[in-house]
Amino acid sequence: MSSVFSLPPTLSGLRNYVDGEFVESSKTFDNVSPLNGRVLAKVHEADEALVDRAVRSARRAVEGAWGRTNVQERAKVLHAVADGIERRFDEFLAAEIADTGRPLEQARSLDVYRGIANFRTFADLGKVAHGDYFETFLPDGTKLLNHTLRKPLGVVASISPWNLPLLSLTWKAAPVLICGNAIVCKPSEETPSSATLLAEVFHEAGVPAGVFNVVHGFGPGSAGEALTRHPGIDAVTFTGESRTGAAIMKAAADGVKDISFELGGKNAAVVFADADFDAAVEGVIRSSFTNSGQVCLCSERVYVERPIFDRFIAAMKARTEALKIGWPDEPGVFMGSLISREHREKVLSYYRLAVEEGATVVTGGGVPVFGDERDDGAFVQPTIWTGLPDTARCMIEEVFGPVCHISPFDSEDEVIRRVNDTAYGLASSVWTTNLSRAHRVTPRLSVGIVWVNTWFSRDLRTPFGGTRLSGIGREGGRYSLDFYSETTNVCIKV
Ligand code: NAD
Ligand code: 6OD
């Protein structure tokens, strides 16, 4: 098969969407396909003046008619946007695949599906969310009624990563908008297409100018930094690397802006000897290699109880070597490319470092050779290591590629200590058929999300986020609604 995935026709030049208009700029950069290295489109980079225009337009929207809409009206807008994504489903699919090189089936069942679900979920949740109500009695019998009001926070900046572009952006935009705010989004420079297509959907849905804006560009010295430093921004919601989070926190500090951060991870999967063996192998294959390991929730550390360790390694090796890598639409394909050649160089540097640090390479460790244009893309082999001490750099630093290290363990206390011995704290998965053990172990893991006998199952009403270097705050359900609104308590003497 020699399919080359290209962008939908309206995305032949990727423009900014500011104040209800598609805006070009004099400076452009290339959007490159990671499948074969070809240039997909020119992206118009927003300069400081255009970012400023976007923020001012968003401010006018919040202080104008949009800020005075009620939640029922906003819910209709969110459903109209979801309808628009549904109508243009195949174009979103093409945009996500062209930018990321991921398998079609994943883009369909995860990325575009979640783009729609994020808008529908928050449209419905916003309508049922309500504040607190307390009755207070003073010593003389006077009664006070307290109720809380939720108001828009203002103008929110969303800075999103490349690994799940549409999912991450809509995960922020939907709750921002249902709360009556306006948003300026900066998608990753690596994945500008689905955000631009989403702007087309907002435009077609007749959403007022300024409510939803997209600015393209990079981080430092470009649109990202200009946005996070802008005094007209009230809150920054960011998903990306922990180091970038630290830089954004500094930029946001001057304006004392609210921040919500979803950052990196070095997540662990723990497989007890009493686990359903086959389910655990399949689960760890998914949790280590989905999206070529480029999901913040992926398990790069796997701990397996010693009695099943050798059997587990053998099964993981066989399953990994059977995974199909290739074009996104090839039947049975499990892994596409990484996001870029540059990222592949980072992943391969860890493949080399692991060997220097004394790892045994169970499988993988290199680059697949196809003998066609994919050799100019950014593919890597899924890789399994064993034999590293927990202190090795490959056991401490986030690789963000299709790789896991598998270590044996002997007791619950030992494995809990080792899982927690990291600067991150995003997610863990525990594989066991012992219910008591599941309840004993899960509260002791220092992470924001724990799955038992599954991975990446998401109910959008549940809190999502990490501890320590993995983030600040939680989003999801009422946690998003709390973050994206200002709360005012009204106390009335009766
Ligand atoms: P990144 O931090 O390099 O970039 C993310 C975004 O920040 C991009 O849009 C980029 O242009 C922008 N940016 C970079 N520097 C900036 C600056 N100084 N000011 C303002 N904006 C700036 O992350 P990435 O490489 O795109 O994504 C991969 C990382 O994201 C991994 O570490 C992964 O774990 C993390 N991630 C975390 C979650 C989560 O929910 N915890 C989800 C997805 C990805
Ligand atoms: O499921 C989600 O809502 C979410 N934000 C997932 C993020 C995955 C990280 O790569």
Beta bridge partners of 32: 39
For the chain, list residues with pLDDT below 50. 1-4
Give the residue, out of 171, 260, 449, 479, with the most ligand 2 atoms within 8 A of its beta carbon, to mutate for a pocket test. 171
Any residues with CB less than 8 A from the CB of 370 and at least 6 apart, and which? Answer: 326, 379
Closest CA to ligand 2's atom 3: 171
Quote the pLDDT of residue 5.
73
How remote is the CA of residue 79 from the centroid of ligand 1, in Å?
28
Proximal ligand: closest to the CA of 236:
1
Say if strands 449-452 and 39-44 run parallel, antiparallel, or are unpaired.
Answer: unpaired
Quote the pLDDT of residue 300.
98
Closest CA to ligand 2's atom 1: 458
* d(C-alpha 95, C-alpha 209), whole Å: 24
Q: Which helix (H) or strand (E) holds 401?
A: none
Beta bridge partners of 260: 237
Quote the pLDDT of residue 224.
98
Any residues with CB less than 8 A from the CB of 372 and at least 6 apart, and which? Answer: 2
Give the residue, out of 159, 229, 347, 403, with the most ligand 1 atoms within 8 A of its beta carbon, to mutate for a pocket test. 159
Is 234 a pocket residue for ligand 1 (Cβ < 6 Å)?
A: no
How remote is the CA of residue 69 from the centroid of ligand 2, in Å?
29
Angle at 153 between CA 149 and CA 156, to 5 degrees: 155
How remote is the CA of residue 424 from the centroid of ligand 1, in Å?
15
Q: Give me the DSSP letters along 244-298.
A: HHHHHHHHHHTTT-EEEEE----EEEEE-TTS-HHHHHHHHHHHHHGGGG-STT-
Closest CA to ligand 2's atom 4: 168
Q: Report residue 443: phi and psi, to 5°.
A: -65, -20
Active site residues: 262, 296
Amino acid (one-letter) located at 328: P
Proximal ligand: closest to the CA of 462:
2
Taking only the tens place, the pLDDT of each residue in 353-393 is 999 999 999 999 999 999 999 999 999 999 999 999 999 99
Q: What six digits make up the tokens of 338?
A: 């990484």
Is 247 a pocket residue for ligand 1 (Cβ < 6 Å)?
A: yes
The answer to pTM > 0.75 is yes
Taking only the tens place, the pLDDT of each residue in 135-159 is 999 999 999 999 999 999 999 999 9
Quote the pLDDT of residue 2.
37
Quote the pLDDT of residue 162.
98
Lining ligand 2 with CB less than 6 A are 163-164, 168, 171, 295-297, 458, 464
How remote is the CA of residue 470 from the centroid of ligand 1, in Å?
12
Taking only the tens place, the pLDDT of each residue in 16-29 is 999 999 999 999 99
Domains and CATH numbers, the chain: 9-263+469-493 (3.40.605.10), 267-459 (3.40.309.10)
Taking only the tens place, the pLDDT of each residue in 7-53 is 988 888 999 999 999 999 999 999 999 999 999 999 999 999 999 99
